[in-house]
Amino acid sequence: MRKSAPLLIAGSALLGSAQAGQANDFSQLERGRYLTQAGNCQGCHTPPGEEPFAGSRALETPFGLIYTPNITFDTETGLGRWTKDDFWRAMHEGKAKDGSQLYPAFPYPHFTKMPREDVDAIYDYLATLDPVRKKKPENELPFPLSWRTTVKGWNMTFFEPGVFRPDPAKSQEWNRGAYLVEGPGHCSGCHTEKNLLGADKKSRHLAGGKLENWAAPDIRGGRHGGLEAWSKAAIVEFLQTGRNAHSAAFSIMSEVISYSTQHMTETDLAAIATYLKDLDGEERAAPATPDDAVMKAGAAIYFDNCSACHVSDGSGVPRFFPPLAGSGNVNNPDATTVIRVILEGARAVPTKRHPSPLTMPAFGWKLDDDGIAAVATYVRSSWGNSGGAVEADEVRDLRSLLAGGPP
């Protein structure tokens, strides 16, 4: 198993597990750097503007705040005393050096799919970073979740350790894509709906999820999937540049693109696209037709406030201002992202290819809950969209939640 995976995965001839000499081997470090990027380790392990990989970023989970650890090799506060085996156990089994359980906010249910060679390469790469002394704050989790052994039960129910097994019936490209999406890329972390205990709903795999008060769209690319209208090339362009003819990345996805996918090889991005395009979705029942008066009010607000950029027919200016017609975010049954973008605005991620941080302004100060609900309803029900109506209460709740108040 271990011997075949790396051949497939990196196209490299490295065999066997870590050997002493490999730590200084340039190609080994490059491989580690690449995988560290592919897994977007920097995103979660770096609070905005602080030292990369030194941790302490607060992850908002439905259960409370979890602070990420320092993964530089500082001996007191980081991984400095960890062996390769310790690191492997964390990535593969979700166990810390002392044997305690890590919370699945750390995506070990995905990283477990990585073969030992890949995990060792990441270890070797992280070991080259300047160690930073930085202790993470205590997690803010209620009892009994603060008690790490509760995770044991969770693991028994939801966690299957084991490295990725290629499907021999599928192409090499498909398998590479599947490995990247399900393994290091851990795409379902955001794009799959969770059950009450925070585990992926298997039946809803990559069909859209919710994280930190953002609704992540369906990224299944086949029939009835959220990316059905996207070509493979469009998926590659999106991951590589942050924009394509359909959309522009913002919020959490902009970190993924900024730290991770824009640095990946085109071959790997094409593999991801191949895999996603092979995932069919489920047909959705059309939502009820919104109220006429609401649509009329929404249209008026849209023409005054939105049409300058998104154009009166919702076609936008592709790669500049995203089209709203056919948008995955707009059509998401969960309207959270649409409402939030109107409230707070959004910034398209600057990338190597598109350095402009094109930004939509906030309208939360300018439009009231009824107005936002009306314009969101109009946008979600026009030009062939079928996102459905948004109620003023939803806007009020999210506004209050984002302001730190009760929903």
Partner 1 sequence: MARKLPPVDVVLVGFGWTGAIMAQELTEAGLEVLALERGGWRDTPTHFPPTLAPDELRFYWRHEMFQDTARETLTFRNNASQTALPMRRWGSFLPGSGVGGSGVHWNGQTFRFLPSDFIAASHNADRYGPLPDGMTVQDYGVTYDELEPHFDRFEKLCGIGGKAGNLRGALQAGGNPFEGRRSDEYPNPPMEMTFAQKQFGAAAAELGLKPFPAPSANMSRPYTNPLGVQLAPCTYCGFCEKYGCGNYSKAIPQTTILPVLMGKPNFTLKTHNEVLEIRRDSSGRRATGVTHVDVHGEVFEQPAGIVILCAYPLQNARLMMLSGIGRTYDPRSGEGLVGKNYCYQVVSSVDVFYEDRYTNQFVGAGALGMVIDEYNGDNFDHAGLGFIGGGYLACWTTNARPIETHRTPEGTPEWGAGWKKAVKENFLKSTSVSTHGASMAYAQNHLDLDPIYTDVYGRPLLRMTYDFTPNDRAMTAYLTDRAREIAARMGGREIKVNAREGAYDSMPYQTTHNTGGTIMGSTPQNSVVNRYLQSWDVPNLFVMGAGVFPQNAGYNPTGTVAALTYWAAEAIRSRYLRDPGPMVQA
Main-chain dihedrals φ then ψ at residue 116, nearest 5 degrees:
-55, -40
265 binds partner 1 (CB under 8 A): no
How far, CA to CA in Å, does 243 sit from each of 1, 254, 277? Answer: 38, 10, 18
The residue among 65 and 245 lying less far from partner 1, judged by its C-beta, is 245
Distance CA 277, CA 250 (A): 22
Answer whether 199's CB lies under 8 Å from 104's CB.
yes
The residue among 273 and 343 lying less far from partner 1, judged by its C-beta, is 343
Task: Work out how close the CB of 349 gets to partner 1 at its nearest, in angstroms, rounded to a whole number.
Answer: 12
Distance CA 244, CA 241 (A): 8
366 binds partner 1 (CB under 8 A): yes
β 64-67/209-211 pair status:
unpaired
302 binds partner 1 (CB under 8 A): no
Answer whether 92's CB lies under 8 Å from 111's CB.
yes
The residue among 317 and 403 lying less far from partner 1, judged by its C-beta, is 317
Among the listed ranges 119-127, 153-161, 232-240, 301-309, the one in contact with partner 1 (CB under 8 A) is 301-309
Give, for 123, the enclosing helix (H) or strand (E). Answer: helix 116-126
Choosing from 1, 15, 229, 317, the residue that interacts with partner 1 (CB under 8 A) is 317
Task: Work out how close the CB of 313 gets to partner 1 at its nearest, in angstroms, rounded to a whole number.
Answer: 14
Distance CA 177, CA 276 (A): 8
Task: Work out how close the CB of 355 gets to partner 1 at its nearest, in angstroms, rounded to a whole number.
Answer: 4
Choosing from 321, 335, 369, 373, the residue that interacts with partner 1 (CB under 8 A) is 321
How far, CA to CA in Å, does 35 sit from each of 1, 9, 39? Answer: 19, 11, 6
The DSSP symbol for 203 reads: G
Choosing from 8, 96, 234, 362, the residue that interacts with partner 1 (CB under 8 A) is 362
Query: What's the token pair of residue 73?
Result: 């090799």
Among the listed ranges 91-99, 286-294, 354-362, 383-391, the one in contact with partner 1 (CB under 8 A) is 354-362
24 binds partner 1 (CB under 8 A): no
The residue among 10 and 346 lying less far from partner 1, judged by its C-beta, is 346
246 binds partner 1 (CB under 8 A): no
* Residue for token pair 């049954």: 333
Task: Work out how close the CB of 245 gets to partner 1 at its nearest, in angstroms, rounded to a whole number.
Answer: 12
The residue among 130 and 167 lying less far from partner 1, judged by its C-beta, is 130
Distance CA 299, CA 224 (A): 28
Answer whether 389's CB lies under 8 Å from 380's CB.
yes
347 binds partner 1 (CB under 8 A): yes
361 binds partner 1 (CB under 8 A): yes
How far, CA to CA in Å, does 283 sit from each of 228, 286, 385? Answer: 12, 9, 14
The residue among 4 and 356 lying less far from partner 1, judged by its C-beta, is 356
Residues 99-118 that bind partner 1 (CB under 8 A): none
Contacts with partner 1, residue ranges (CB under 8 A): 305, 308-309, 317, 319-321, 345, 347, 350, 352-363, 365-366
